[in-house]
Amino acid sequence: MKKILYGIPNCDTVKKARTWLADNGQEFEFHDFKKQGLERTTVAHWLEQLDWETLVNRKGTTWRKLSDERRARVVDKASALDLMLENPSVIKRPVLECDGKVSVGFSVEQYEDLFGDWPA
């Protein structure tokens, strides 16, 4: 079963998730969405399972640097999808995709719960 961890390599939370996965015998592919980009279909798939307000990190630097006008235009899945493709750094990290399931963020407890259902 293929696991893909999406994020950027210098993000502390992504580093913690990568370390946890490796230390717990979980094989995964890392996708650096700043360097490799993101497909519209990938982000649309995430939005089928997760609310756009969960995926858009409105506490981060990228969001705060957007103009008030640009932030005001993010009101639904479609507008959030456009923003995430324009500025992947606005996506809360990491995003983990496995066997069609999608999870965002990282904590030890969250991954322990997830991998009770997802085999190595």
Percentage of residues in the chain with pLDDT exceeding 90? 86
Mean pLDDT of 75-93: 96
pTM for this predicted structure: 0.91
Question: What's the rounded mean pLDDT across residues 29-48?
Answer: 96
Distances in Å between the alpha carbon of 30 and those of 5, 22, 71, 78, 82? 5, 11, 29, 26, 23
Q: Look up the CATH superfamily of 3-117.
A: Glutaredoxin (3.40.30.10)
Catalytically active residues, by annotation: 11
DSSP states of 34-71 as a string? TTS---HHHHHHHHHHS-HHHHB-TTSHHHHHS-HHHH
Q: Is the pLDDT of residue 120 over 60?
A: no
Query: Which residue's structure tokens are 């963020």?
Result: 105
117: pLDDT strictly greater than 70: no
Given a cut of 60, whether residue 119 has pLDDT beyond it is: no
